[in-house]
């Protein structure tokens, strides 16, 4: 059966013209004449039976239908270009995964483990963009998402399946220099953890997206901390980590996001009493059956999350 699809040349001309709302700039970008762009768009409008642009004295303006269709065409062309480049790069073997991921988790946990993926699955390539909130997969070119959220948030994400990778446990960390000032201790014991009560007197670093994190931690430790809500606020865990390494205060951090700092000694555990947070890290993908490439990646990712794979 013949597909009811316009020519790709007409769609390419329309996408550029819609992006600029200008036939002239579209012609310049595509190295065509303005009349050639106009003919392609006119043919597309005739094919669709829908007016995409409204002509004015100053040029062209997208109609509401044109604006909506332009967004759809841009996503389709982007996906087609990506898939074409993938086939060219891999000569039909292996495959790629376009992943949406929360930035700190991607930078500090996933990317350091990707060399291990490359050794086990050399034909799999992972492209990563950042997303922090749920989205509709149908409106994007993403194959899956690495998402940090609560079980309720994941359950309310429509049309997806979710694989829990790990829970987000948090523990107080700070610079060794700051920890030395927390409590008098014997020689050679300056970097050993202190009590929860001792932390209540130190400056605390807050995360703006979890404003009650410290209060919850102190309540779980049965410690009355009058200043649990005080301290500078930062949005991302990566910001908290940098501030903590510079001795600005104690941060509540998932150890999995500061593996390098803990290994180098830039950060130390201030009190070895972790608290399980409400959130976890999930691999989220469309509800339909996964492609072989995505299924292999999901299996590898779960093993990495369970600690079965070394960090290279």
Counting every residue, how long is the chain? Answer: 312
Which pLDDT score, from 0 to 100, does residue 310 have?
55
- Give me 301's structure tokens: 């990712």
Domains and CATH numbers, the chain: 8-74 (1.10.10.10), 86-168+279-306 (3.40.190.10), 169-275 (3.40.190.10)
d(CA 236, CA 169): 16
Which pLDDT score, from 0 to 100, does residue 126 have?
94
Which pLDDT score, from 0 to 100, does residue 87 have?
65
Contact 269, 174 (CB under 8 A): no
Cα Dmax for the chain: 84
Q: Which residues pair with 233 in a beta bridge?
A: 206
d(CA 66, CA 259): 49
∠ at Cα 126 (70, 242), nearest 5°? 100
Q: Distances from the Cα of 162 to the Cαs of 10, 130, 158, 267, 309, in angstroms?
A: 38, 18, 11, 33, 21
Contact 193, 270 (CB under 8 A): yes
Which pLDDT score, from 0 to 100, does residue 61 have?
93
Contact 221, 249 (CB under 8 A): no
For 166-219, what is each residue's pLDDT tens digit? 999 999 999 998 988 776 554 455 567 888 998 998 999 999 988 999 999 999
Contact 274, 169 (CB under 8 A): yes
Per the prediction, the chain carries an average pLDDT of 89
pLDDT(92) > 60: no
For 37-91, what is each residue's pLDDT tens digit? 999 999 999 999 999 999 888 889 999 999 999 998 998 888 778 777 766 665 5
């Amino acid at each position: 059966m013949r597909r009811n699809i316009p020519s790709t040349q007409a769609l390419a001309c329309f996408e550029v013209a819609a992006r600029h709302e200008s036939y002239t700039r579209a012609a310049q970008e595509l190295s065509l004449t303005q009349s050639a762009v106009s003919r392609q768009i006119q043919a597309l409008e005739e094919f669709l039976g829908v007016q995409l642009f409204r002509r004015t004295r100053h040029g062209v303006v997208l109609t509401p239908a044109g604006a909506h269709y332009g967004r759809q065409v841009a996503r389709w062309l982007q996906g087609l270009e990506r898939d074409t480049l993938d086939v060219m790069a891999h000569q039909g073997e292996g495959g790629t995964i376009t992943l949406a991921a929360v930035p700190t988790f991607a930078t500090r946990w996933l990317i350091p483990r990707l060399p291990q993926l490359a050794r086990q699955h050399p034909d799999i390539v992972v492209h990563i963009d950042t997303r922090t909130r749920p989205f509709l997969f149908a409106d994007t070119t993403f194959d899956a998402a690495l998402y940090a959220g609560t079980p309720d948030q994941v359950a309310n994400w429509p049309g997806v399946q979710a694989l829990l990778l790990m829970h987000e446990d948090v523990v107080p960390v700070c610079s060794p220099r700051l920890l030395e000032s927390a409590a008098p201790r014997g020689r050679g014991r300056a970097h050993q953890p202190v009590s929860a009560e001792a932390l209540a007197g130190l400056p605390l670093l807050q995360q703006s997206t979890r404003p009650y994190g410290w209060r919850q931690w102190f309540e779980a430790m049965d410690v009355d901390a009058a200043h649990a809500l005080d301290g500078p606020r930062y949005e991302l865990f990566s910001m908290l980590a940098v501030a903590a390494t510079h001795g600005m205060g104690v941060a509540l951090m998932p150890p999995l996001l500061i593996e390098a700092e803990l290994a180098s000694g830039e950060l130390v555990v201030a009190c070895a009493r972790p608290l399980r947070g409400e959130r976890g890290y999930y691999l989220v993908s469309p509800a339909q059956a996964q492609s072989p490439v995505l299924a292999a990646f999901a299996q590898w990712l779960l093993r990495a999350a369970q600690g079965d794979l070394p960090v290279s």
